Amino acid sequence: MHIPDGILPAQVCAAGYAITGLATWYSLRQINRKPDPSAEIPKASLLTAAFFVASSIYIPVPPASVHLILNGLLGVVLGYFAFPAILIGLFFQALVIGHGGITTLGVNAAMMGIPALLAYHVFQLRNSLGKVLKEPTRTGVFAFLGGAIGLGVAALIFLALIIFNIPAELDAGAERTAVLALSVSHVPLAIVEGIFTAMLVLFLRRVKPELLEG
């Protein structure tokens, strides 16, 4: 779901960098409001590495294949650390394994990072909207929603960006069909990521609940 160089026009890439810059500034501002902003850096570093590695694990979903994204998981567990973590992970993915690109780094970061922040806020709703559910069911349900929504929203943004910016020299009809098929193939992946996020969060709740604070 990474957008490579040469697909989007320059103005869209510039807008992506502007949005990513603003989102990074806001995330760092929220992080610096914590009593000890550096305390969560080891956790953020570990999940940044997991985000990087996840892109090399492909899951066959006929007629194509997809790979784990984990942006929803990062949002649920890291909170505002998720956006800079995703930005750093995408930068090294572009350099090391050729996923995405440098000109589209801002667009890709916004496409995956903003849904991660949304996933974080969805997970936090468990404290106010989940009172009808008992623990640990409540935590598991909202972790699943966070993980699934993170990927689902990113896939919708990807779909919109590609469909509205198909290069003129390509067959627009064929490209739309291919992009729609790719987007639909992410539906089962969103469910998988939701389940994985819920399992990990429930595990952390049992063995290291302080990692889920805030």
Query: Cβ distance 54 to 70 under 8 Å?
Result: yes
Q: What is the pLDDT of residue 122?
A: 94
Q: What is the pLDDT of residue 90?
A: 93
**Of residues 61, 8, 7, the one with CA closest to residue 184:** 61
The pTM of the full predicted model, rounded to 2 decimals, is 0.88
pLDDT tens track for 65-88: 567 889 999 999 999 999 999 999
pLDDT at residue 62 greater than cutoff 70: no
Q: What is the pLDDT of residue 214?
A: 55
Domain 10-212 has CATH 1.10.1760.20: yes
Question: What's the rounded Cα separation, in Å, for the pair 111 and 114?
Answer: 6
pLDDT tens track for 19-45: 999 999 999 999 999 888 888 899 999
Query: Cβ distance 87 to 27 under 8 Å?
Result: no
Per-domain residue ranges for the chain? Answer: 10-212
Q: What is the pLDDT of residue 108?
A: 93
